[in-house]
Amino acid sequence: MNVEPSSPISEPPPAAPPTSAISLAGRLMNVFAAPGEVFSEVKTATPSVANWLVPAVLFMVLSWLSAGLIYSQPAIRQQISELSTKAIDRQVEKGKISSTQAESARAAAENLGGVGYEIGAAVGPVFAAFISPFLGGLIFWLVGSFALKGNFPYMKGVETVGLSNMILALGVIVKTLLILITGNLFASLSLTLVLKEFDPQNPVHSLLAMMDVMIWWQLIVRSIGLARLSGASLGKAAAWIFGIWIALMGVMIGLGAAVRAAFGG
């Protein structure tokens, strides 16, 4: 009786990564209420472009709508006009330009100031919406992989940062409503609400603007995301996220002051 040697037991095929248990809409909404849950799932689920694309598109569309609504307010248009006039007056006071040049500059600002705002309002959100997840994701991945010794692919960082941008989208709505209520272009849910007149060129005012509820909420959500992706503690992750943010803000404020000092702004 011949007994053929039995074939080796074939190993079952590797299990496919689990598909997302929460729907896209659920993920987008749960970022506000239960971000830990969302990011835990993102870590294990299949990569999903929608996780960063949908918030980016939403942020972009909301920004355009907001810009259109804000610019339709006469008080805001007046404020934009006054900003450029004030800047020109400052140049005249410092002797950088003559009165005649100032008049020409004021006329040009009156004609083209609105155009500048519209261009900025149209183009700015596009860059912010699409650069933010990739640049933020890169920082996320670098910190998570090397500082926190985590192990997750770059695109997971992109998805996490992209999802946290839902906070930004909500921030656009809140900021728009505050601007409409106060009639102040610089209104936001921050300590600048206590200021009578916000001066964008004042470093102290810029610091107060950093104390924005929506920004801090987003940072906390990102901290949760980083902690879940890397496996580190929330405290460590938050320290890194907040530390990097503070450093970036400090560099921007310092650069702004340096540029103003150099060019007499």
Pick the binder of another protein from 41, 43, 85, 97 (CB under 8 A).
85
Window 199 to 258, contacts with another protein (CB under 8 A): none
Angle at 188 between CA 183 and CA 189, to 5 degrees: 130
Distances (CA, A) of 152 to 66, 105, 136, 148, 230: 36, 53, 15, 11, 7
Pick the binder of another protein from 47, 183, 243, 254 (CB under 8 A).
183
Q: Where does this chain touch another protein (CB under 8 A) — which range of 31-39, 129-137, 156-164, 225-233?
A: 31-39
Give dist(CA 262, CA 181) in Å, integer: 37
Q: Is 178 in the site for another protein (CB under 8 A)?
A: yes
> Of 23, 12, 39, which is closest to residue 237 (Cα–Cα)?
39
Give dist(CA 21, CA 212) in Å, integer: 33
Q: Where does this chain touch another protein (CB under 8 A) — which range of 7-15, 113-121, 168-176, 234-242?
A: 168-176
Q: Is 78 in the site for another protein (CB under 8 A)?
A: yes
Lookup result for tokens 């803000």: 249
Q: Is 118 in the site for another protein (CB under 8 A)?
A: no
Pick the binder of another protein from 17, 23, 24, 32 (CB under 8 A).
32
Q: Is 23 in the site for another protein (CB under 8 A)?
A: no
Q: Is 82 in the site for another protein (CB under 8 A)?
A: yes
Question: In whole angstroms, how close is the CB of 120 to another protein at the nearest point?
Answer: 21
